[in-house]
């Protein structure tokens, strides 16, 4: 053992060995540096490919109906169409063209049409498929279920802001009498009865405040995050944000807010002068911090009032698109530009889970399944049938 220690000591003290150590260390650092550069360029290229000009008018076309397929048009009876169009709460489930199995699970559980009696309707929203074969399948799905919407845009994780604004446009054009839009994902379980009950209570409170002229008709509810910093330094993060892209959004927001203070006819002032508004919302640019994201609602489930949808769509044309849709839509546009406060809704679990089944079991220790409003299954949609049975109230 003593001889071995002596040999190791001599080896580490050897100048040639130390030279090899330094070479290996330099080699590893160089490799990591090039990996960092490659990943950064790759992510930036994907963001540029998805968002292009970052111009809302070009990519969202907020004033045009761009739908390829609309399930509402396949409803047989006029009464059925009117009930779906005028539902108090419209739940739009964002999905992918090839995710038919997820849509089927939702239709068989929490999204079944029996809940329309409570004043809610569920529709699925997807982008343009890449093949004619998939388009034919979607056409058949639309004819069979009348609940699928296909819009004319290219699907991409980095284009979710485009998708969400198009969801809002769909709501505004095709559900003009509906009061609330719920934007959610196809791996989220929703208790429709609890959701509608909560929405009616929010609407009643909003109407009361409007009569007393103590509030606006804006509402955003969900799981609210505050104080989060942009991931401008880590391209390996799913939420990587190139500093140039984020700085461009920040600078434009400051310009929009500052211009609204000097012009009574600015787009922002006109939005606040909606006939349903009784109290003007003001935004102080000093509260806009470039080093932190504005408070925003977790993207897999949130609720918007109809007036909020209208206002966000109107101001979006003045701010370049940002690839993180929840930050952009409910944070940058809603918080920074419009000054809308958000409400944390109880009985929602929207966090990402490595083990959704265990997460749900833990969630049930503190919350009755019958009280749940929404639960993020995080791709494990097989949980939904058991959750549906456990959470049924009637």
pTM of the model as a whole: 0.88
Q: For the residues of 103-155, what is the DSSP string, one character each?
A: HHHHHHTTTSGGGGGGTEEEEEEEEE-SSHHHHHHHHHHHHHHS-EEEEEEE-
- The yes-or-no verdict on residue 193 having pLDDT over 70 is yes
Task: Look over the chain and give the mean of its residue pLDDT values, rounded to a whole number.
Answer: 86
Share of the chain above pLDDT 90, in %: 61
Q: How many CB atoms lie within 10 A of CB 115?
A: 20
Tens-place pLDDT, residues 64-79: 999 999 988 777 666 6
In a domain, 24, yes or no: no
| Structure token pair of residue 120 | 């809610």
pLDDT band at 45 (very low <50, low <70, confident <90, very high): very high
- The yes-or-no verdict on residue 312 having pLDDT over 80 is yes
At 76, which CATH number?
3.90.550.50
Q: Pick the more confident residue, 312 or 288.
A: 312
Tens-place pLDDT, residues 132-162: 999 999 999 999 999 999 999 999 999 999 9
In a domain, 345, yes or no: yes
The pLDDT score that the predictor gives to residue 3 is 62
The pLDDT score that the predictor gives to residue 226 is 94
Residue 107 CB burial class (10 angstroms; 0-12, 13-18, ≥19): middle
Tens-place pLDDT, residues 323-381: 999 999 999 999 999 999 999 999 998 776 667 778 888 888 888 889 999 999 988 89
- The yes-or-no verdict on residue 37 having pLDDT over 70 is yes
- The yes-or-no verdict on residue 321 having pLDDT over 70 is yes
Q: Pick the more confident residue, 263 or 52.
A: 52
In a domain, 190, yes or no: yes
Q: How many CB atoms lie within 10 A of CB 394?
A: 5
Domain range for 213 is: 53-391
In a domain, 35, yes or no: no
In a domain, 58, yes or no: yes
Domain tally, the chain: 1
d(CA 245, CA 201): 39
In a domain, 22, yes or no: no
Residue 312 and residue 247 in contact, taking contact as beta carbons nearer than 8 Å? no
In a domain, 140, yes or no: yes
pLDDT band at 277 (very low <50, low <70, confident <90, very high): very low
In a domain, 311, yes or no: yes
């Amino acid at each position: 053992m003593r001889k071995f220690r002596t040999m190791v000591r001599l080896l580490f003290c050897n100048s040639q060995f130390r030279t090899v150590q330094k070479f290996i260390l330099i080699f590893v650092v160089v490799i990591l540096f090039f990996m960092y550069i490659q990943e950064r360029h790759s992510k930036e290229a994907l963001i540029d490919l998805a968002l292009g000009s970052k111009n809302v008018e070009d990519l969202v076309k907020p004033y045009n109906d761009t739908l390829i397929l609309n399930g509402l048009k396949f409803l047989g009876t006029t009464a059925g169409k009117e009930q779906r169009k005028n539902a108090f709460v419209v739940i739009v489930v964002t999905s992918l063209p090839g995710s038919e199995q997820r849509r089927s699970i939702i239709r068989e559980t929490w999204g079944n049409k029996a809940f329309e009696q409570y004043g809610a309707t569920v529709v699925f929203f997807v982008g343009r498929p890449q093949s004619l074969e998939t388009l034919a399948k979607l056409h058949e799905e639309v004819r069979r279920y009348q609940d699928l919407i296909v819009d004319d845009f290219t699907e991409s994780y980095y284009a979710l802001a485009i998708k969400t604004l198009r969801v809002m446009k769909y709501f505004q054009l095709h559900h003009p009498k509906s009061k609330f839009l719920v934007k959610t994902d196809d791996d989220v379980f929703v208790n429709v009865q609890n959701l509608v009950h909560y929405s009616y209570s929010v609407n009643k409170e909003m109407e009361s405040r409007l009569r007393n002229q103590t509030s606006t008709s804006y509402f955003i509810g969900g799981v609210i995050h505050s104080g989060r910093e942009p991931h401008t330094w880590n391209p390996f993060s799913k939420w990587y944000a190139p500093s140039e892209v984020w700085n461009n959004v920040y600078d434009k927001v400051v310009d929009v807010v500052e211009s609204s203070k000097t012009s009574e006819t600015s787009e922002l002032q006109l939005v606040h002068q909606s006939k349903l508004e009784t109290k003007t919302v003001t935004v102080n640019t000093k509260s806009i911090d470039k080093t932190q994201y504005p408070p925003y609602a977790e993207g897999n489930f949130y609720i918007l009032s109809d007036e909020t949808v209208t206002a966000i769509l109107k101001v979006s044309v003045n701010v370049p698109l940002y690839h993180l849709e929840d930050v952009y839509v409910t944070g940058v546009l809603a918080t920074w530009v419009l000054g809308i406060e958000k409400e944390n809704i109880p009985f929602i679990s929207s966090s990402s889970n490595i083990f959704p089944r265990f997460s749900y079991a833990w969630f049930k220790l503190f919350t009755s399944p019958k009280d749940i409003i929404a639960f993020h299954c995080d791709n494990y949609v097989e949980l939904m049938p058991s959750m549906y049975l456990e959470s049924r109230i009637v």
